[in-house]
Structure 1
């Protein structure tokens, strides 16, 4: 498994959640691609931690569908399979739909302004073809209503299934990014006006617009 060069080791007091996030992000952003074998010893050396938090992180990643672990043999990055993406997408869309319905009319002006600013950066990243920046801005935008709602059950579900969808989304932004900007604007306006059903509908559409079949085909998988 090729380990990225030039990446500084993190502090040895790195928490388990931080190890998980680093490995999760490396899979989502394509640093570790589908089918690539992940060796806990090499990953531990890369991150500057012991093997224990790495092994725990790999177990969590298995639960999210980002890796496939064969006990006593190997752990590899999962393929981008259409059915798995479709299932995760439907769950994520439902969680954001519920969130939008619950927080419509309850977001403060600061929250709405933060969403607008995130969408502005998202639009700029799409125009520039910067997929990583687009994903970061998109995640920030959608995280705001979820944080305001404060429903830990929804947060837990999204934490598990969102990464799988995000990995597939990297293939979508080139073709569908501009449409997402418009959907974001509509979502923000509906949340601001207190239109709960309208906001819920567009929130679901934002996520359900991801075509799992197209993404799997582009990746050569599924």
Structure 2
């Protein structure tokens, strides 16, 4: 007989799927979230869905009042701005720590991710572009090997990606393609000062999206 799927995996699966639906706008801000309805859509029991909603509330993607409501959180500009600044600082740290460990394989992978990003931007494919952008920035983050940085980015980056999906047409995406190229060149050259400066600029650009949020 096959082993049963652990409850923790069901909870994580529910969390990942609901979180992605919130990030990409499938579940719009203010949408009521009923655990029974979500469980039916996901083919799960209500218990892992409830656990997932609690975790999403901790992430700031869901708001809940006991015995009253649970719904997708609205955009709160100040919260997103705080997240942008934290994510920017952590990516700067990751780049600094990764630089001595980055080799040709990582540089090649970043270039490939930026090519996918550029193609998706040209085709207006928001999901593919954001996924490629994540892949590119994840490379120095994982190379750095700082688990505290990785865990904190995992929690706060979705707040930014949610804004990017909602404002994709306003993203300075073409400029981001060039900034990525500049970042990769600086990393390849071992220029920590330039790499950190470019990283800071990349994430600071997201603050401009808050003007319309």
TM-score, L = length of structure 2? 0.91
Aligned residue pairs total 206
Q: Which string of whole-angstrom CA distances, capped at 9 and with x for unpartnered residues, describes residues 111-168 of structure 1?
A: 1111101100100111111111111111111111111111110111111111011001
Looking at structure 2, the residues matched to 66 and 51 of structure 1 have their Cα atoms a distance apart, in angstroms, of 19
Q: How far is 1:105 from its partner?
A: 4.0
Give the aligned CA root-mean-square deviation in angstroms: 1.6
Alignment of 1:204-219 (within 5 A): 204-210=200-206, 211-216=208-213
* Contact 1:92 1:161 (C-alpha < 8 Å) held by counterparts: yes
Q: How far is 1:212 from its partner?
A: 4.5
Looking at structure 2, the residues matched to 131 and 96 of structure 1 have their Cα atoms a distance apart, in angstroms, of 22
Structure 2: state its 5+ residue gaps.
Answer: none
The match for 1:157 among 145, 152, 157 is 152
Structure 1 or 2: more helix by fraction: 2
Structure 1: state its 5+ residue gaps.
Answer: 1-10, 217-222
* Contact 1:105 1:192 (C-alpha < 8 Å) held by counterparts: no
The change in CA–CA distance for 1:33 and 1:12 in structure 2 (over 3 A counts) is farther
Q: Which of 51-60 and 166-175 deviates more?
A: 166-175
Looking at structure 2, the residues matched to 212 and 60 of structure 1 have their Cα atoms a distance apart, in angstroms, of 26
Alignment of 1:27-66 (within 5 A): 27-66=22-61
Alignment of 1:160-171 (within 5 A): 160-171=155-166
* Contact 2:25 2:166 (C-alpha < 8 Å) held by counterparts: no
Looking at structure 1, the residues matched to 140 and 34 of structure 2 have their Cα atoms a distance apart, in angstroms, of 37
TM-score, L = length of structure 1? 0.88
